[in-house]
Amino acid sequence: MATPASTQDAIDILAKLVGFDTTSAESNLELIAYVRDYLEGHGIPSTLVPNEDGKKACLFATIGAGEGGVGLSGHSDCVPVTGQSWASDPFTLTKRDGKLYGRGTCDMKGFIACVLASVPMFKSMSLAEPIHVLVSYDEEVGCQGVRPMIARLGQDLPRPRAVIIGEPTSMQVIDGHKCIDVYRTSVTGKEAHSCMPANGVNAISVTSKLVTEIDRMADEVAQTENDPHFDPPYSTVMVGMVQGGTAPNIVPRNCEVVWQLRGLPGTKAKDAPARLAAFAEKSLLPEMRSVAPGAAIETKIKTSVPAFASGPDSDAVALAMSLTGANRTSGVSYATEAGLFQQAGCPAVVCGPGDIAQAHAADEFVAIAQIEACLKFLAKLAERIGP
């Protein structure tokens, strides 16, 4: 029987991880250096996969030998604390009432800390197949960092037979999530003095009509899709940002709207940009170009994270269910790196400590009980793939 790693060891490691400000706009190299040194201290080499400018990197390490194996994947970056009111320093781990507070404790340094604390236990086992440790960057800005590492799986990096993504699920087994497609629609009108608005094309006014159409599409999708495995049980289309104009006395020439689709696996709402373009071509552009021939409405995709659907025969889901004792799975509306692993031929599942309701919030925390549950989960994994 494998003995779970010490809870205190996991807490101590989590304190180190939280102390690194790995907001997505910042470098994660100090955290990666800490993880690499920790692994080397246990005789485990690692490979770094840096980004183009060398300011960030993924890490891949293998414990044990053989083909296949199980990957334990977590992202090192976290969201900003700007504008949030915290009761304690977000980059200093603080223990209160059975909870561990700090930015990233829940999403998702708690999982990484559990994995690292379990390394000595993994090493002590005669594993029949390896355990791989994967740490990525820029998950919070479209799962960008993990992609170069995934591209090397089966090339110069081993390809796990299953990958467990330790996003906060309260240790529930998640076998599906929605996609995220983020779009930027730019409107180009014509400037004029505000006393003669008919001489211009008001880009903000045009954008308001686009926003109304986006909301109309959202209502339509909500009425035509239904998958009770998810909450909400339909794809969502939502406007997130609008920016435009120069001054109150100038008819605005430019405006842009950033909007997103969070789509069910297989959703038909992927045609939303084409439908918005058709609406613009028919209902907006003719009048705009009668005043300004160069007027335009253009939509470009900013970020796309694929949906995740494990399928009924997923070895990764079966493994997670056996380790947790769960008799059912759930789907979630937030996105993870699971869809990218799945596309690359690595069956994936999402299961990790912490409640997603705490992620990204002020006074983010992970309950110590969740850390303990994750350590037990990892000990059972070692038993399962032991000799």
- Kindly list the catalytic residues: 77, 139
User: ω before 232 within 30° of 0 (cis)?
Assistant: yes
**DSSP three-state, residue 111:** helix
Characterize the bridge pairing of strands 254-263 and 236-244. antiparallel
Q: Which of 53, 51, 71, 72 is nearest to 138 (CA)?
A: 51
Tokens standing for residue 348: 């994936």
**DSSP three-state, residue 220:** helix
For 238, residues 6+ apart whose C-beta sits below 8 A from its C-beta are 214, 218, 259, 260, 262
Tokens standing for residue 264: 């069910």
Tokens standing for residue 15: 């304190």
The torsion angles phi and psi of 195, rounded to 5 degrees, stand at -80, -15
* Residue 51 amino acid letter: N
The torsion angles phi and psi of 139, rounded to 5 degrees, stand at -65, -35
Question: Can you tell me the distance from the alpha carbon of 70 to that of 162, in angstroms, rounded to the nearest whole number?
Answer: 5
Question: Can you tell me the distance from the alpha carbon of 206 to that of 22, in angstroms, rounded to the nearest whole number?
Answer: 39
**Under 8 Å between Cβ of 192 and 215:** no
Question: Can you tell me the distance from the alpha carbon of 292 to that of 67, in angstroms, rounded to the nearest whole number?
Answer: 63
Q: Which helix (H) or strand (E) holds 297?
A: strand 296-305
Q: Which of 355, 344, 384 is nearest to 149 (CA)?
A: 344
Q: At what angle do helices 315-324 and 368-384 cross, to 10 degrees?
A: 120
Scanning the structure block, which residue is given the tokens 């977590």?
A: 74
Q: Which of 311, 295, 231 is nearest to 264 (CA)?
A: 231
Question: Can you tell me the distance from the alpha carbon of 307 to that of 133, in angstroms, rounded to the nearest whole number?
Answer: 23
